[in-house]
């Protein structure tokens, strides 16, 4: 199939066995399908179209699905498209995605695309770029090729990559000027998840990547001009902090915290990036990922313990958590470690949630209406 080709997804509606909530399966369990990483902009502003990845004929490409009728247009073709790392711009005019060691910008109306950055020889991109809220800048992590541990498509290389103490750097890219510079560099540390602060493109949040019980501290901040490097929160090897994201207004970033001695719970926390003041918001189930809606009135998270196989919905004002539905996923890899991760995300209008699960045998995309 070629770029611009159309396919049709047949929706299937059923009720969740635990909560009775109506769920719609958007893709068929005949090939791997999933949406992008949870903090990327994956839906158009009118909440009608969803960007997602589908593996067909042995190759994964990006598609745009009409959530009204299931029709979908193929957006990319060719090899080595990174199927989790793509984001619509704020005006929905472009899709930023990664292919090989290049960051591409695809015009959504014409499907014309251009290379806006390519990692230089000797460096490998982690294909996890962060786009600024004004669409002018991108941050990405590059790792020295000599320090790269080959990825087998599962978690077997995760701890060895941390143990390799790789030489990593954060690249800050000006899209309009086509210029870039190193905003931060570490000779012996695996860096990941760079995210530009909304409404303040000078501030970058990133993490020290690796097993939670082995890294020194996960949460770090730096300014784009290389100044202001600071550890946002110190931690011990008995503590786990994950999966951080900025609130949409940029006022704070959120993360979940757990201690190894607490088997059943963790806590949602917020931090002011200027003062590093931490707010312990509420206890919650053990989420693997979580994120707020646009106006931060609701939070959605995916439970990762066997007995917590649910998509959870949090009322921020009431500080109350409820089970929305069972995601029922196995967390298995299907060539990529993230393939069966639920990664729940809100629609822009906040009326429904998208998540991925292999509850029917192969990763599919599901939609849960909230209204």
Looking at the domain that runs over 1-116+334-371, which CATH code has it been given? 2.130.10.10
For residues 234-242, average pLDDT: 94
Alpha helices in the chain (DSSP H): 158-163
Quote the mean pLDDT of the chain: 96
Q: Does 265 score more than 90 pLDDT?
A: no
- Integer Cα distance of 102 and 99 in angstroms: 5
SS3 138: strand
**Residues in the chain, how many?**
371
- pLDDT tens, position by position, 272-320: 999 999 999 999 999 999 999 999 999 999 999 889 999 999 999 999 9
As a whole-number percent, the residues of the chain with pLDDT over 70 amount to: 100
- pLDDT tens, position by position, 60-88: 999 999 999 999 999 999 999 999 999 99
Can you give the pTM of this predicted structure? 0.97
- pLDDT tens, position by position, 143-165: 999 999 998 888 999 999 999 99
Which candidate, 246, 198, 204, places its Cα nearest to that of 223? 204
For residue 173, what are the CA distances in angstroms to 141, 187, 250? 11, 21, 20
In the CATH hierarchy, which fold is given to the domain comprising 119-284? Methylamine Dehydrogenase; Chain H (2.130.10)
- Integer Cα distance of 40 and 35 in angstroms: 10
Strand partners, 200: none
Band of residue 345 on the pLDDT scale cut at 50, 70, 90:
very high
- Integer Cα distance of 143 and 147 in angstroms: 7
Domain boundaries, the chain: 1-116+334-371, 119-284
Contacts of 42 (CB under 8 A, 6+ apart): 35, 36, 50, 51, 52, 86, 87, 88, 345, 354
As a whole-number percent, the residues of the chain with pLDDT over 90 amount to: 94
Residue 371 is predicted with a pLDDT of: 80
């Amino acid at each position: 199939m070629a770029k611009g080709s159309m396919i049709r997804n047949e929706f299937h509606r059923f009720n969740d066995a635990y909560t009775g909530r109506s769920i719609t399966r958007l893709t068929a369990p005949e090939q791997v399908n999933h949406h992008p990483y949870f903090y990327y902009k994956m839906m158009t502003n009118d909440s009608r179209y969803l960007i997602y990845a589908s593996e067909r004929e042995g190759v994964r490409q990006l598609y745009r699905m009409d959530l009204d009728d299931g029709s979908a247009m193929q957006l990319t073709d060719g090899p080595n498209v990174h199927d989790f790392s793509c984001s619509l711009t704020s005006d929905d005019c472009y899709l930023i995605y990664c292919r090989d060691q290049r960051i591409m910008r695809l015009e959504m109306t014409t499907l014309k695309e251009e290379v806006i950055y390519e990692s230089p020889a000797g460096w490998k991109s982690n294909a996890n770029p962060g786009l600024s809220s004004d669409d002018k800048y991108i941050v990405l992590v590059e790792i020295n090729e000599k320090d790269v541990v080959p990825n087998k498509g599962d978690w077997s290389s995760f701890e060895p990559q941390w143990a390799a103490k790789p030489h990593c750097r954060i690249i800050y890219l000006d899209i309009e000027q086509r210029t870039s510079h190193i905003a931060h560099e570490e000779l012996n540390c695996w860096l990941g998840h760079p995210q530009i602060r909304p409404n303040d493109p000078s501030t970058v949040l990133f993490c020290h990547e690796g097993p939670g019980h082995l890294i020194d501290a996960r949460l770090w901040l730096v300014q784009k001009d290389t100044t202001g490097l600071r550890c946002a929160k110190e931690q011990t090897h008995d503590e786990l902090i994950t999966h951080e994201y900025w609130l949409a207004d940029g006022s704070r970033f959120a993360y979940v915290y757990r201690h190894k001695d607490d088997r059943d719970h963790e806590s949602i926390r917020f931090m002011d990036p200027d003062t590093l003041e931490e707010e312990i918001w509420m206890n919650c189930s053990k989420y693997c990922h979580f994120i707020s809606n646009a106006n931060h009135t609701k939070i959605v998270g995916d439970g990762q313990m066997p007995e917590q196989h649910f998509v959870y919905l949090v009322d921020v004002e009431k500080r109350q958590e409820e089970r929305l539905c069972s995601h029922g996923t196995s967390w298995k890899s299907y060539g990529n470690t993230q393939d069966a991760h639920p990664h729940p995300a809100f629609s822009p209008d906040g009326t429904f949630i998208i998540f991925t699960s292999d509850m029917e045998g192969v990763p599919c995309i599901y939609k849960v209406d909230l209204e």
